[in-house]
Amino acid sequence: MSRTRKPAPKIARPAPSLADYAKGIRAGNRAVLARAITLVESSRADHQALAQALLTKLAPHTGGAIRVGISGAPGVGKSTLIDALGLYLVKRGHKVAVLAVDPTSLRSGGSILGDKTRMARLAAEENAYIRPSPAAGKLGGVARMTRETMLLCEAAGFDAVLIETVGAGQSETLVADMVDFFLVLVLPGAGDELQGLKKGMIELADMIAVTKADGENIARASAARAEYAAALHVLAEPHAHWKPGVAVVSAKEDTGLDALWKAIERHRMLLNERGLLAETRKAQSVRALWSHVDDALLSRLRAAPRVQALLPKIERAVAAGRLTPFLAAVRLLTAYEQRSARPRKIK
Ligand SMILES: Nc1nc2c(ncn2[C@@H]2O[C@H](COP(=O)(O)OP(=O)(O)OP(=O)(O)O)[C@@H](O)[C@H]2O)c(=O)[nH]1
Ligand SMILES: [Mg+2]
C-alpha cells in the first residue's frame, strides 16, 4: 500500500509588526525597507493602515536627504546620468536612493527594469538602492507612493534621493513638487532643441543640464549651453534668490558631475540660509494633502451610484450641446451630495 506523503504545512512568514518595520528601517535593513515600500504601494486597506502608521512613526527621522528630480525627454540620458551621479555620490560617502515616476509603466504595467540595467554600476553598490516605478494605479496614486517611498528611504538613512521622471505633462509637475531641486536634461544641439523646451518646464527647472557632451557632441553641447543660458536669462525672475544655470555633462565619460553636484549643494545652502527649505517642504506637504483630497473625492464621486446612473445621460447631453459642461458638472455634484438623501427626480 503506497502512502502519499502529505505536503509539509506551509509556514507563513510572520508579518512584521509596526515596531519591527520601524526598527528594521532605522537600522538600514534593505529587505525590511523593500517590504515597507510594498506596503506603501499596496491598495489593501490593512496594508495602507500599517503603511500610514509606519510613516507617522518614522516622521521624525525623515527629511534628511537632498531630494533631486531629474526629468527630460525619452532617451535624453536620465538613467545613465543617475547611474554616474549616484556613483559619484556613493564615492563621496553618500547613501543614494533612486526612485522613478514613469507614466509609461502605468500603461504597460512594466517597471524600470530596463533602467536597472542602465544603472548597472550603481545597482551593484551597497550604499545605493534602486526602486522601480510602481506600476499600479493612476499617476496621482503613483506620486503619493513615490513621495512616501522617499520618506521611508530617508528614515533608512539615505541622504540623497534621485527621482527620474519623463519630461511630459503631469508626472513632471508631480515630481517637481516633491523635491528640493529639479533638474531638466536636454540633448546637445542648438536652435531647434530650444523649441522643445516648453515654458512650463523652464518654470520648474532649477537647472538645465545638456547631456551626452562627449565625442562629436562636444561642440554642439557648448553651443546648446550658450543658447539655453541666454533663454534662461531672458525668462529668469529678476529678484529670485536662485538663478537657474546650465550644466554640461557626460555620463559616459563622467564629466561635469562635480560642477553639477556643487550647484545642487549651493542651491540647498542658499535655501537653508533663508529658511526656505523648511518652508518649501511644508508647503509641499500641504499641497500633497490637497492632492489626496482631490483624488479621493473624485474617485468617490465617480463610484457613487446616483452619479453613475446619471453619467451616460449627462455626457450625451454635453456632447450634443444641450447642456453646458459647467451645468453638467453642477448636476453631477448635486447628485453626489444627495447620494444618501432620498432619490429626487433630476430634470
Ligand atoms: N554618448 C553618450 N550617450 C549617452 C550618455 N548618456 C546616455 N547615453 C545613451 O543614450 C541612450 C538613452 O539613455 P538613457 O539613460 O536610457 O535615457 P533615459 O532618459 O533614461 O531614457 P528613458 O528612461 O527611456 O526616457 C542610451 O543608449 C545611452 O547609452 C552620455 O553621456 N554620452
Ligand atoms: Mg530612463
Nearest to residue 72, comparing CAs of 192, 211, 178? 211
DSSP codes of every residue in 39-73: HHH---HHHHHHHHHHHHHHGGG---SEEEEEEES
Give nearest CA residue, ligand 1 atom 28. 77
Using the atom order of ligand 1, give the atom closest to the CA of residue 112: 23
Residue 40 corresponds to which cell in the numbers above? 506603501
**Is the distance from CB of 210 to CB of 221 less than 8 angstroms?**
yes
For the CA of 78, the nearest ligand: 1
Residue 133 Cβ < 6 Å to ligand 1 = no
**Closest by Cα among 135, 165, 161, 166 to 148:** 161
* Cell numbers given for 185: 536634461
One-letter identity of residue 184: V
Question: What are the respective helix, strand and coil percentages of the chain, to the nearest 5?
Answer: 55, 10, 30
Distance, in Å, from the CA atom of 303 to the CA atom of 268, rounded to the nearest integer, reads 43
Strands ordered across the beta sheet of 207-210: 128-130, 96-101, 160-166, 66-72, 181-186, 207-210, 245-248
Q: Is 257 in the pocket of ligand 1 (CB under 6 A)?
A: no
Element (H, E) at 97: strand 96-101
* Residue ranges of the chain whose pLDDT lies below 50: 1, 107, 109-112
CB of 78 closer than 6 A to ligand 1?
yes
Which residues sit opposite 70 in a β-bridge? 164, 183
Q: What is the pLDDT of residues 235-245, one digit of tens each?
A: 777 677 888 99
Measured in Å, residue 287 CA sits from the centre of ligand 2 at 27
Residue 108 grid cell? 504597460
Residue of 80, 186, 211, 257 to mutate, ligand 1, most atoms within 8 A of C-beta: 80
DSSP string, 12-23: PPPPPPHHHHHH
Residues lying with their CB under 5 A of ligand 2, a single-atom ion: 78-79, 115
* Cβ 53 vs Cβ 46: under 8 Å: no
**CA angle, 123 as apex, 119 and 127 as ends, to 5°?**
130
* 199 CA to centre of ligand 1 in angstroms: 24
- Contact residues for 265 (Cβ-Cβ < 8 A; gap 6+): 66
pTM here is 0.87
From residue 307, alpha-carbon distances to 32, 214, 323 in Å are 42, 57, 16
Is the distance from the beta carbon of residue 221 to the nearest atom of ligand 1 less than 6 Å?
no
- Backbone torsions φ then ψ of 100, nearest 5 degrees: -140, 140
pLDDT score of 135: 66
Grid cell digits, residue 253: 565619460
Could you tell me if 105 and 116 are in contact, meaning their C-beta atoms sit under 8 angstroms apart?
A: no
Distance 32 CA to ligand 1 centre (A): 32
Name the residue at shortest CA distance from atom 1 of ligand 1. Answer: 212
